[in-house]
Structures are given as structure tokens and as C-alpha cells.
Amino acid sequence: MQNVQAVREAMSKPVLMIGPEHTLRQAAQLMAARKIGCALVHDPDGEGPGIITERDILYAIGAGSDPDVEPCKEHITWDAVYAHPDWSLEEAAVVMTRGGFRHLGVIEDNEVVGVISVRDLMRAWSLRRAAANA
């Protein structure tokens, strides 16, 4: 991973997939167990995956939602932006910066293949810089 150039080389996988009926607490517990900041949401009746992030859960609970009762479907971003695995890391970073978000699902041939986060970008760039300075 010393010369990571594309999203496919830096993305995290496997991806945590949950359903829209999972409660906020269930989503938070699953994310915490995997030490990740988002889950992609599969809705068999929807048009593709949505995303719920730790920030979405924080805002929902802060607004008074009961995490044991409130379903994720009320807090999911269904019109999320997704990356392609062949995008450059810089391209993913620009999209994240412009959109104000820290996670991008990665889709290839209409299938979720990973997630790339700001942390993944920083890790890849740090390793690239370390390799260049070695």
C-alpha cells in the first residue's frame, strides 16, 4: 500500500450493511464493534443503498430520539454520493470536501464494494509520503 493511487487500493472492506428498520442503538453498536463511522443501508424497496453515519446518530439522539425505538430509516441519507473504485484519491477527497462529508460508499457495477473515509485517505497519503522519503 506504499504507492496508493486509486480508491480501490485505499477503501475499507467488507462494508457494514444494515436495514432501514435497525434502531439507532443497533446501528451504533454494530459500528462500534467494527470501529467504523458509517453503515450502508440496504432497502429492498429502495433505489440503491443509503448511508447512516455516526454524526447522523449523534444528531438524532441530541434532538431527543430514543435510540432503542427510533429506526435508522428516519436518519439515512438516501441520495448519497458514491465513489467509483477507479477514482483517484484526490478525486474522492474533492468530492468529500465539497459535500462536507467524511465517508463515501464505493460502488462498481451497481454493487457496493467498499467505503472510503477521510481516515483511509490520510493513511494512504501518509504511507505514500513515508515511502517517498525513505
Determine, yes or no, domain membership for 24.
Answer: yes
Q: What is the mean pLDDT of residues 94-105?
A: 95
Look at residue 116 and tell me whether its pLDDT is greater than 90: yes
Look at residue 2 and tell me whether its pLDDT is greater than 90: no
SS (H, E, C) the chain: CCCCCEHHHHCECCCCEECCCCEHHHHHHHHHHHCCCEEEECCCCCCCCEEEEHHHHHHHHHCCCCCCCCEHHHCCECCCCEECCCCEHHHHHHHHHHHCCCEEEEEECCEEEEEEEHHHHHHHHHHHHHHHCC
Grid cell digits, residue 62: 441530541
Q: Could you read off the pLDDT of 30-60 as tens digits, one per residue?
A: 999 999 999 999 888 776 789 999 999 999 9
Determine, yes or no, domain membership for 119.
Answer: yes
Determine, yes or no, domain membership for 1.
Answer: no
Total of domains in the chain: 1
Determine, yes or no, domain membership for 2.
Answer: no
The CATH number of residue 63's host domain is 3.10.580.10
Considering the entire predicted model, what is its pTM? Answer: 0.86
Determine, yes or no, domain membership for 105.
Answer: yes
